[in-house]
Amino acid sequence: MPVITTIDDLKRLHKRRAPKMFYDYAESGSWTEQTFRENSTDFDLIRLRQRVAVDMSDRSTAATLIGTDVAMPLALAPVGLTGMQCADGEIKAARAAEKFGVPYTLSTMSICSIEDVAAHTTQPFWFQLYVMQDEEFVDNIIARAKKAGCSALVLTLDLQILGQRHKDLKNGLTAPPKLTIPTMINLATKWHWGLGMLQTKRRFFGNIVGHAKGVGDASSLSSWTNEQFDLRLDWDKIAKLKEKWGGKLILKGILDAEDAKKAAAIGADAIIVSNHGGRQLDGALSAIRVLPSIAAAVGDRIEVHMDSGIRSGQDMLKALALGAKGVHIGRAYIYGLGAMGEAGVSKALEIIHKELDVTMALCGRRDVRALDRDVLLVPQDFE
Ligand code: FNR
């Protein structure tokens, strides 16, 4: 077992252990992957100000996110097919988040269902919804999330139509994998993964299969989802869904100040400044680049969160200093999960937390809630 000290170490191990089609599914962006790449490289353009001779004996990373106490202002983002990176992946990720004291968000497109995750955790988690045309399905899944005690609904707004990822098409991505000759050759080297999958008792895509009209198994799911994403989703519908849910609402996929103002106007509790990890509109700006203008546009009217590109505690500190009250990570914990299951997700959280804490100290800051732009050197062409 190699010594793991960075998120990149987890990524290498994930690549080695998970089947190629699922590793590629995580480690890809849409079309040319420009936005996917810039989500990371733009973080590198921002530098940190070293400060010395500041008492740093009493430091804190504790904060609140939409009114909930957290060990650090970070949540695990919803990731479809998490349970294909590692058997029962959603349950393992949720348990690691719960142990660490940060929220976990379950995707509509998860392998384990809302009920599976609720049965294996003790703290409320967040549920992410893709709005589908079938209103009965939407009403029903909202009711299931309420029943399971989910404490926030994360409504994803940037995927009513799918951005194309070439790797997934070339790999013939399906869950479970179709047994073609190249897939079988690849799976033969992934015995650790296969053993876990053989032992799991979950029904695949438990949020949808058996709950949507005409979807009786995973193979009938893909045409259903392609037809069902609601192309007519607009702010009126979002406001109606807010009423239906009646609890904390987070709007995910905001990348423009005008949309952020609309989110504040309908009374959402938070937005996530996000380009879906570079998986949707290729050519869009990186999330860290648009964050300052969005934070300035909405002020204190709504909580501003951010995701896309966070791979370290330094990245996290930069986002918080540029106006995010919290960050969400996708791939950073998925690498951990694919590498080492629940222990890998815990490891990813520990790595990021330690990096955040030490970086704060070296910048002469003690309280994560008081980070501001003064701690950074930001290039002039950043918005
Ligand atoms: C995602 N993301 C995502 N978002 C969402 O709202 N519902 C989903 O089902 C998924 N599925 C998904 C799968 C995979 C493999 C990835 C990598 C991402 C987007 C996710 O929630 C988040 O916005 C990004 O992952 C953030 O970027 P980083 O942290 O991965 O760079």
Token digits for 252? 């995910």
- Residue 285: strand, helix, or coil: coil
Cα-to-centroid distance, 156 and ligand 1 (Å) = 10
Cα-to-centroid distance, 73 and ligand 1 (Å) = 18
Q: Residue holding tokens 């549920």? A: 127
Which residue's C-alpha comes closest to atom 10 of ligand 1?
79
Q: Which of 276, 305, 328, 353 is catalytic?
A: 276
**Integer angstrom CA distances of residue 342 from 70, 265, 353:** 19, 39, 17
Which of 279, 282, 289, 305 has most ligand 1 atoms within 8 Å of CB, for mutation? 279
> What pLDDT score does 287 carry?
98
Token digits for 97? 């988040």
> What pLDDT score does 218 carry?
80
Which residue's C-alpha comes closest to atom 18 of ligand 1?
79
> What pLDDT score does 37 carry?
98
Which of 8, 171, 276 has most ligand 1 atoms within 8 Å of CB, for mutation? 276
Reported ipTM: the value is 1.00
Token digits for 196? 């876990």
Residue 237 and residue 160: Cα distance in Å, rounded? 13
Query: Do the beta carbons of residue 365 and residue 43 sit within 8 Å?
Result: no
> What pLDDT score does 45 carry?
98
Q: Is 145 left (phi over 0), alpha (psi -120 to 50) or beta?
A: alpha
> What pLDDT score does 2 carry?
77
Annotation marks residue 211 as catalytic: no
Which residue's C-alpha comes closest to atom 5 of ligand 1?
78
Which tens digit of pLDDT belongs to each residue from 145-163?
999 999 999 999 999 999 9
User: Any alpha helices (H) in the chain, and if so which ranges?
Assistant: 7-17, 20-26, 34-45, 82-85, 89-100, 114-119, 135-147, 166-171, 181-188, 191-199, 221-228, 235-245, 257-265, 287-298, 313-321, 331-362
Cα-to-centroid distance, 76 and ligand 1 (Å) = 10
| Per-residue exposure over 295-329, b if at least 16 CB sit within 10 Å of its own CB, e if not | bebbeeebbbbbbbbbbbbbbbbbbbbbbbbbbbb
- What residue ranges of the chain have pLDDT lower than 50? none
Neighbours of 382 (CB within 10 A): 17
Cα-to-centroid distance, 30 and ligand 1 (Å) = 12
Residue 180 and residue 5: Cα distance in Å, rounded? 36
HSE value, Cβ hemisphere, 13 Å, CA-based, for 367: 5
pTM to 2 decimal places: 0.98
309 lines ligand 1 (CB under 6 A): yes
Beta-sheet pairing, 326-329 with 74-76: parallel
Residue 338 and residue 183: Cα distance in Å, rounded? 18
> What pLDDT score does 203 carry?
77
> What pLDDT score does 225 carry?
87
**Integer angstrom CA distances of residue 381 from 234, 289, 290, 309:** 32, 9, 11, 19
Residue-range domains of the chain with CATH: 7-377 (3.20.20.70)
Residue 165 and residue 180: Cα distance in Å, rounded? 20
Nearest-10 crossing angle of helices 34-45, 313-321 = 80
Residue 40 and residue 27: Cα distance in Å, rounded? 13
> What pLDDT score does 1 carry?
64
- Atom index in ligand 1 nearest the CA of residue 107 equals 9
78 lines ligand 1 (CB under 6 A): yes
Which residues, in sequence order, are CB contacts of 334 under 8 Å at separation 6+? 14, 26, 79, 82, 85
